[in-house]
Chains A and B, each alone.
Chain A
């Protein structure tokens, strides 16, 4: 009898943990959930939708999020970006290109001990605003920058 009660307890606490993991969604670095690709987030077209798909309700503009990139990209197929955040407890960094077919290009989970700054290269179809979204201490912040593209990256 005691045994089955334990089972029930185990079951419910397990469910609660699962619920939490699902709520945290994209931003559960270090757990198996980090490996689940957030399809909904990658299908969004605007920043507001992306933030929603990542589990937030809105983002505030912040000067503590910095996008480092060329102002004019000669080749849209390879545009280097460095995004860094000075906000304490930065948990995640996402990079969005507003005029790409799908806005979200990449998102990164930053565990404790890792510097809140990543460098990568993305494709840009045309001149567009680039948005860096940072999740820090449960809140979302963003900054934007326009990058001019002289040769698009989505053609043959």
Chain B
């Protein structure tokens, strides 16, 4: 199973700034191993961030997103103490959800 994400959610003025660092190899499928065989692609395809059950950001990624992807965005309407949850799903169907408390 994949390692947990690091999520920071902090107030920035009247908005909540969310920073997410995911642990994922993000293999493109273009690389070859030592024997010359292609390394199969393995990357995160969709990311969804929710706050109080409402989607605050959705993302679709290709294999060009860097290894251990970083994502940052801001949304309005959050308060300290509330939770932000982030879910990713990769092309092999693995998924992971983590949440953080707004500070």
Contacts and interface: CB of A to CB of B under 8 A. Distances in A.
Interface string B64-95: 11110111111111000000000001010000
Contacts, number: 116
B76 A113 contact: yes
Interface residues of A, number: 40
A105 B55 contact: no
A119 B73 contact: yes
A76 to B, nearest CB: 10
Contacts of B89: 35
Contact of A115 (B32, B66, B73, B91): B73
Contacts of B75: 113-115
Q: How large is the interface on B (under 10, 10 to 19, 20 to 34, 35 or more residues)?
A: 20 to 34
Interface string B38-80: 0000000110100000111111111111110111111111000
Given A120-B70, A121-B66, 17 more contacts: A29-B58, A34-B48, A37-B45, A42-B60, A101-B28, A106-B65, A107-B59, A109-B55, A109-B59, A111-B55, A113-B56, A114-B56, A115-B76, A119-B70, A120-B69, A121-B69, A154-B31
Interface of B: 15, 28, 30-32, 45-46, 48, 54-67, 69-77, 89, 91
